Amino acid sequence: DAKTTQPNSMESNEEEPVHLPCNHSTISGTDYIHWYRQLPSQGPEYVIHGLTSNVNNRMASLAIAEDRKSSTLILHRATLRDAAVYYCILRGPGAGSYQLTFGKGTKLSVIP
């Protein structure tokens, strides 16, 4: 799987928008960009995914750069419940591709 690079940590004020960046310069044309998050003491939770176009769902928005070498997860209004580790993961065809390979992610802290 192609690698992703994320900042180790970020902070946001409650009720402010949050933009979590991810670089994936070696992404292939068939790799989907997935985001998961893990709240303390819980299993990872799916957030959103996309291929080329920007995506929106009830949890977040995903903005994908035109060259697909980077993406940004957008939380429109951070709440205390959004404090978690956010993982950007690429999923595509190839050997060992069933697995979700997690990196260190970005630890998001939300300040009341």
Partner 1 sequence: ETGVTQTPRHLVMGMTNKKSLKCEQHLGHNAMYWYKQSAKKPLELMFVYNFKEQTENNSVPSRFSPECPNSSHLFLHLHTLQPEDSALYLCASSPPGQLYMNTEAFFGQGTRLTVV
Q: How far is the CB of 85 from partner 1 (least distance, A)?
A: 9
Residue 91 in the binding site for partner 1 (CB under 8 A):
yes
Q: By three-state DSSP, how is residue 51 classified? A: coil
Number of residues in contact with partner 1 under rule CB under 8 A: 25
Rounded CA-CA distance 13/41 in Å is 23
Residue 96 in the binding site for partner 1 (CB under 8 A):
yes
Residue 7 in the binding site for partner 1 (CB under 8 A):
no
Q: Which stretch binds partner 1 (CB under 8 A): 13-21, 62-70, 71-79, 98-106?
A: 98-106
- In order of 43, 66, 93, 107, the CA distances from 37 in angstroms are 9, 24, 23, 9
Instruction: Give me the 24-53 binding string for partner 1, x by CB under 8 A, dash otherwise.
Output: ------xxx-x-x-----xxxxx--x-x--
Rounded CA-CA distance 18/72 in Å is 10
